[in-house]
């Protein structure tokens, strides 16, 4: 079950965090993986890890906010079976503390970047007779989080895009779903704690972990396992859904 042999996947943000875990998992399950990554060093590191494990991988250094760059990558790959939009950035701030430059930056990556990749992917998915799109959203799209105005706005748009794409292409065998993680333990989280709470890293890590009712943060591999299922043939009856993977955060945190 859940094999991806003879299938081609494009994964944005595949050089770190959740995107890296998805790239490694998909390659391990037999997919030919194409990583879209802005950070060439991180991208090369993941590509080497996949190659050393005997997997098939191609790295494309690309800025997802630039539609021409994105289109060029998808033209190179040709027909695909899967797209996972994992590239994204975070921002801390309320509506009156988020300056226009930061708001635009978050929208460009987290919303326009997803649109650009979907726009480029649809023709290539049609060549394969259909396929699966996964958008990485967030629990920030589902509940009110403090100091996450721009990020929540962007992830809400991602969930809405997911529903729109699922509706528009259901007759062409293109499925589209989203995944909404709560806090996932990635290098980004460690860096955030180190920058903002020097000397209190363990205290803040424990505090952030306990905001999930289950008592810990999730792992990138757990998100990757859900993405694998949703892209597999076993999930062929699923489209237009958002999947919180959150240790009970959305439903039990009250």
pTM above 0.75, yes or no: yes
Is residue 253, in this structure, part of any structural domain at all? Answer: no
> Tens digits of per-residue pLDDT, 47-68?
999 999 999 999 999 999 999 9
Are residue 91 and residue 202 in the same domain, yes or no? no
Q: Do residue 97 and residue 201 come from a single domain?
A: no
Which single residue is written with the structure tokens 């993680």?
A: 181
Catalytic machinery residues: 151
Q: Looking at residue 188, what is its pLDDT?
A: 84
Q: Whole domain around residue 137: which residue ranges?
A: 8-182+220-246
Average pLDDT over residues 208-221: 95
Residue 15 pLDDT exceeds 80:
yes
Average pLDDT over residues 234-240: 98
Give yes or no: residues 71 and 133 share one domain.
yes
In a shared domain, residues 26 and 148 = yes
pLDDT above 90 for 129: yes
The radius of gyration of the chain from alpha carbons, rounded to an integer in Å, stands at: 18
Q: In this structure, are residues 194 and 201 in contact, taking their beta carbons and an 8 Å threshold? A: yes
Write the DSSP assignment of 14-31 as a string of letters: TTSHHHHHHHHHHHHTT-
**Average pLDDT of 210-218?**
95
Q: What is the pLDDT of residues 68-114, one digit of tens each?
A: 999 999 999 999 999 999 999 999 999 999 999 999 999 999 999 99
Q: Average pLDDT in the 25-40 region?
A: 98
Q: How many whole angstroms separate alpha carbon 53 and alpha carbon 31?
A: 13
Are 95 and 188 in a shared domain? no
Total count of domains within the chain: 2
What confidence tier does 253 reach under pLDDT thresholds 50, 70, 90?
Answer: confident
> 207 and 120: one domain?
no
């Amino acid at each position: 079950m859940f094999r991806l042999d003879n299938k081609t996947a494009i994964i944005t943000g595949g050089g770190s965090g959740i995107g890296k875990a998805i790239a490694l998992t998909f390659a391990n399950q037999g997919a030919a993986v194409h990583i879209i990554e802005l950070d060439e060093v991180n991208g090369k590191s993941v590509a080497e890890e996949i190659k050393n494990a005997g997997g098939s991988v191609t790295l494309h250094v690309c800025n997802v906010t630039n539609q021409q760059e994105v289109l060029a990558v998808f033209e190179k790959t040709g027909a695909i079976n899967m797209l996972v939009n994992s590239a994204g950035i975070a921002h801390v701030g309320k509506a009156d503390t988020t300056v226009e430059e930061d708001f635009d930056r978050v929208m460009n990556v987290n919303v326009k970047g997803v649109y650009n990749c979907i726009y480029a992917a649809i023709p290539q998915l049609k060549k394969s007779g259909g396929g699966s799109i996964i958008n990485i959203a967030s629990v920030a799209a589902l509940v009110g989080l403090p100091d996450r105005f721009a990020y929540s706005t962007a992830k809400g748009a991602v969930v809405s895009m997911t529903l729109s794409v699922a509706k528009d292409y259901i007759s062409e065998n293109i499925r589209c779903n989203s995944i909404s993680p709560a806090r996932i333990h990635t290098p980004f989280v460690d860096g955030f704690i180190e920058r903002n709470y020097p000397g209190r890293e363990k205290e803040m890590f424990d505090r952030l972990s306990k905001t999930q009712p289950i008592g810990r943060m999730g792992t990138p591999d757990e998100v990757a396992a859900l993405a694998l299922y949703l892209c597999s043939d076993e999930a062929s009856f699923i489209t237009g859904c958002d999947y919180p993977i959150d240790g009970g955060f959305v439903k039990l945190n009250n």
